[in-house]
Amino acid sequence: MRKIYLKSGLGDETYGPPFMFRADYEEARLESAVQEAREGIFSAVDSLLAKTAVHPRAIDVLVVTCGSFSPTPSLSSLIVNRYKLRPDVKAYDLSGMGCSSGVLSIDLAAKILRQSGDVHYALVVITESISLNWYFGDNRSMLVTNCIFRVGCAAVLLNNEAARRPAAKFELVRSLRTHHGADDRAYRAAFQEEDEKGNTGVALTKDLIRAAATNLREHIKILAPRVLPLSQLVSYACSALVSALSRGDVKPAVPDFTTCFEHICIHVGGKAVIEQVGRVLRLSDEATEPARMSLHRFGNTSSSLVFYELAYFEAKRRIERGDRVWMLAFGTGFKVGSLVWRSLRSSREQEEEDNPWNDCIHRYPISAT
């Protein structure tokens, strides 16, 4: 594990649940997972409700995503009980969706808001659990998860009322989710199973990087026509035509997405994943900086990771009114999700006390090896 960790790109200030630091940590189970969920969820939601001045009983829809921890009662019930939400609140719990579930849960909440005239506030809580998913064996591909996954949580409040627009930070312009599970290699690229000694873990196989690259290309074939400027669309269409005429011998050129997005929050799955996405999208080191720095400071926080990147842009005061932000995340199965946001205010207008980068942003970017 130490050898893997030293090459992971993570720094020394990431967060783990308390059981990781106990001598008898092999005994940590449900109690630790519940503590991990409570501390992350309650702090994120408390901060969100305080900033927005929205009363909990105004919430119409609750979406909670946690890929690998599904207790009874559910995490949504935990939130309903804590904040005394209305009896008619529409609650959804998403599980098993992998690191893309943060993006997918926003997509779900947005679709509900767009299709219902009686629903106005949707609370989305995005978290993950390490405690019940620690791997106790010695299979290298499964040990990777112990080394890169860390504690993290995010909470988002979505609203569809025009009167609330002045209070909003971003407008959700577009969302896209694609599922590539029909490909067996992509389906098994990250897979929960037992090792030869019966220890349960999630194996991150060598196919994971290939799946990320291949399925990202398929994803952007759908996304590109919806977001690219005309000049890039013409260039991309000509490249795709040449590729088709060559019967696949010539790969179509990847369009320049920096022409339609001022900021890109790419999947922080690990050092190799960031590098692969950078190569596929032809991104500069400056464009992948937020992902690399988020990995160093917070590790792979799974479904909430793209929101830590967004917080990096905000802490650096880089977001201006009207800027477009692309969030891109991968999930087991294999899924790719995109969110396109438009900023409604400048990040220089107001400093947020709960930005997770506040105590360290002056040290970043750093040279992370």
Half-sphere exposure of 235 (CA within 13 A, CB side): 12
Q: Calculate ∠ Cα 48-54-60, nearest 5°.
A: 100
Q: How far apart are CA 233 and CA 248, in angstroms?
A: 20
Q: How far apart are CA 21 and CA 16, in angstroms?
A: 9
End-to-end CA distance of the chain, in Å? 17
Q: Is 99 assigned a catalytic role?
A: yes
Q: Is 179 assigned a catalytic role?
A: yes
Q: Is 263 assigned a catalytic role?
A: yes
Exposed/middle/buried for residue 273 (C-beta within 10 Å: 0-12, 13-18, 19+): buried
Whether a cis peptide bond, with omega within 30° of 0, leads into 166 is no
Q: Is 219 assigned a catalytic role?
A: no
Tokens 């194996």 belong to which residue? 203
- Exposure b/e, 37-73, CB count within 10 A at least 16 = b: bebbbbebbeebbeebebebeebbbbbbbbbbbebee
Marked catalytic residue, from 99, 147, 153, 265: 99
Q: What is the CA radius of gyration of the chain?
A: 20
Marked catalytic residue, from 147, 153, 160, 267: 267
Q: Is 265 assigned a catalytic role?
A: no
Q: Is 300 assigned a catalytic role?
A: yes
Whether a cis peptide bond, with omega within 30° of 0, leads into 365 is yes
Residue 205, CA distances (Å) to 139, 191, 192, 201, 302 in order: 11, 8, 11, 12, 17
SS (HEC) of 188-239: CCEEEEECCCCCEEEEECCHHHHHHHHHHHHHHHHHHHHHCCHHHHHHHHHH
DSSP 170: E
Strand segments (E) across 81-206: 90-94, 121-127, 153-159, 170-179, 190-194, 200-204
Marked catalytic residue, from 66, 147, 219, 263: 263
Of 216, 343, 199, 352, the residue nearest 278 (C-alpha):
216
Letter for the amino acid at 127? T
Marked catalytic residue, from 146, 159, 180, 296: 296
Residues 127 and 304: beta-carbon distance below 8 Å:
yes
Marked catalytic residue, from 120, 139, 179, 355: 179
Marked catalytic residue, from 133, 146, 215, 300: 300
Q: Which residues are catalytic?
A: 99, 179, 263, 267, 296, 300
